[in-house]
Amino acid sequence: MRHLFRAGLLLVAILVLVFVVLRVVPAPDFLEEFGFHRSESVANAEQWASLPIQYVGSSVCFDCHQDNYALWESGNHKTVTCENCHGPASAHLGTGAPEDLDISRELCGLCHADLVSRPADFPQVDMNVMGGEEACVSCHNPHEPRAGMPPEVPHTLEGRGDCQVCHVSHEPLVIPPPQIPHDLEGHLECPACHGPHGIDADLIPLIPHSLEGRDSCLVCHSANGIKPFPANHTGRTTATCTTCHKVQ
């Protein structure tokens, strides 16, 4: 017990010594200058209060930017204030001068670069791979990143390595597959943006017979044939049947 008593006395002595030292040693000049010392607390508060207001809050953006505000308010970025990306808005609000917008990949990477420290379910990408050198906003609307995203492929890509077989077709189809609405320069890997989801390949009927001796599928499969095809196949020719349908 005696050693515990001695240890207790030593601890008390250290605490008293530290307290006395902190009270006796004068505060550094920088503490006095910036007002952190207790005697300067009032002046410190007044100094902060005298600083000009730079941030005005997202609510004031609504008056002039209603469309973008509505998109932001209903989107995934609603927890990110306008000024987090656009910077302080007081000068813009006062003069109405256009802002210098930062649309760099680096800005988006501050939140979305792939980091081990971030939650696994947080949207993050490898900035060295995703999108090449293009600005993120060339595909993503910054006010709601999922708005206007490239449509997902409504079928699996198994056995369909070349998307352009159907989607850059020059056949005179009445109801052709949707055409690609952009150039393909630097975009040869369609699934990199569009992603395969939806219809299971097993749902696409297989051809239950060989095609030997059958030069035209439309002899049997047409509006007036033995087994009519669906209305959304109108205008398709024999040449396109095996693009989707495989022989069983």
Could you write out the DSSP letters of every residue in 26-52? Answer: PPPHHHHHHT-SGGGHHHHHHHHHHSP
CB-based contacts of 38, cutoff 8 Å, min separation 6: none
Answer whether residue 189 shows pLDDT above 50: yes
- Averaged pLDDT for residues 121-137: 86
Least Cα distance to 110 among 100, 122, 121 occurs for 122
Q: Is residue 51 in some structural domain?
A: no
In this structure, are 159 and 216 located in the same domain? yes
Structural tokens at position 65:
């930017």
d(CA 80, CA 210): 59
Selection from 26-40, 62-76, 167-181, 230-244 with the highest mean pLDDT:
62-76
Q: Would you put residue 242 in left (φ > 0), alpha (ψ -120 to 50) or beta?
A: alpha
State the pLDDT at residue 108. Answer: 92
pLDDT band at 195 (very low <50, low <70, confident <90, very high): low
Give CA 208 to chain center in angstroms.
44
In this structure, are 220 and 177 located in the same domain? yes
d(CA 240, CA 38): 83
Count Cβ atoms below 10 Å from residue 76 Cβ, excluding itself.
13
Q: Are strands 153-155 and 196-199 parallel, antiparallel or unpaired?
A: parallel
**Helix (H) or strand (E) run with residue 159 in it:** none
Answer whether residue 136 shows pLDDT above 70: yes
In this structure, are 131 and 167 located in the same domain? no
d(CA 106, CA 75): 21
In this structure, are 133 and 202 located in the same domain? no
157, 147 Cβ separation under 8 angstroms: no
CB-based contacts of 103, cutoff 8 Å, min separation 6: 135, 136, 137, 142
How many domains are there within the chain? 2
- Strand ranges, E, within the chain: 153-155, 196-199
Q: Is residue 5 in some structural domain?
A: no
Q: Is residue 239 in some structural domain?
A: yes
In this structure, are 121 and 154 located in the same domain? no
**Between residues 27 and 57, the one the model is more confident about:** 57
Selection from 94-108, 143-157, 217-231 with the highest mean pLDDT:
94-108
Q: Domain limits at 120?
A: 58-138
Least Cα distance to 10 among 2, 61, 207 occurs for 2
In this structure, are 130 and 195 located in the same domain? no
In this structure, are 106 and 170 located in the same domain? no
User: Could you tell me which residues are beta bridge partners of residue 247?
Assistant: 207
